[in-house]
Amino acid sequence: MQAQLLPRQVLDWVALLERLHDDDRPGLRAHYLALAAEDRRLRFGLQVTDEFIEKFVERVDFGRDVVFGVCSGSGRWLGIGHLVPGNGAAELGLSVLPEARGKGLGAAIFRFAVAHAARNGVRRLFMHFLTRNKAILSIARAARMAIESEAGESDAHLVVPPYPEFVRMLIAASDTGQRSGEKAASA
Ligand SMILES: CC(C)(COP(=O)(O)OP(=O)(O)OC[C@H]1O[C@@H](n2cnc3c(N)ncnc32)[C@H](O)[C@@H]1OP(=O)(O)O)[C@@H](O)C(=O)NCCC(=O)NCCS
Residue type, 157: H
pLDDT digits (tens, 9 = 90+) for 145-178: 999 999 999 999 999 999 999 889 888 876 655 5
Residue 114 alpha carbon to ligand 1 centre in Å: 17
Predicted local distance difference test score (pLDDT) of residue 6? 64
Instruction: Give the position, in ligand 1's atom list, of the atom nearest the Cα of 7.
Output: 33
How confident is residue 143, by pLDDT bands cut at 50, 70 and 90? Answer: very high
Instruction: Give the position, in ligand 1's atom list, of the atom nearest the Cα of 137.
Output: 16
Cα angle, residue 185 at apex, residues 182 and 187 outer, rounded to 5°: 105
Quick one: what percent of the chain has pLDDT higher than 70?
89
Residue 57 alpha carbon to ligand 1 centre in Å: 23
Nearest CA, atom 35, ligand 1: 138
C-beta of residue 78 within 8 angstroms of C-beta of residue 96: yes
Predicted local distance difference test score (pLDDT) of residue 172? 87
Q: Considering only residues 182 and 9, tell me which one the structure prediction assigns the higher pLDDT.
A: 9
**Euclidean distance between CA atoms 80 and 177, whole angstroms:** 30
Instruction: Give the position, in ligand 1's atom list, of the atom nearest the Cα of 35.
Output: 41
Segment 74-99 mean pLDDT: 95
Segment 70-79 mean pLDDT: 94
Predicted local distance difference test score (pLDDT) of residue 87? 84
Residue 134 alpha carbon to ligand 1 centre in Å: 7
Ligand 1 within 6 A of 142 CB?
yes
Q: What's the distance, Cα to Cα, between the start and end of the chain in Å?
A: 31
How confident is residue 125, by pLDDT bands cut at 50, 70 and 90? Answer: very high
Integer angstrom CA distances of residue 27 from 94, 107, 164: 15, 21, 34
Q: Considering only residues 69 and 167, tell me which one the structure prediction assigns the higher pLDDT.
A: 69
Predicted local distance difference test score (pLDDT) of residue 11? 77
C-alpha 78: how far from chain center? 13
Segment 94-116 mean pLDDT: 96
Cα angle, residue 93 at apex, residues 158 and 54 outer, rounded to 5°: 160
Ligand 1 within 6 A of 96 CB?
yes
**Euclidean distance between CA atoms 6 and 106, whole angstroms:** 13
Question: Does residue 2 register a pLDDT over 60?
Answer: no
Instruction: Give the position, in ligand 1's atom list, of the atom nearest the Cα of 128.
Output: 48
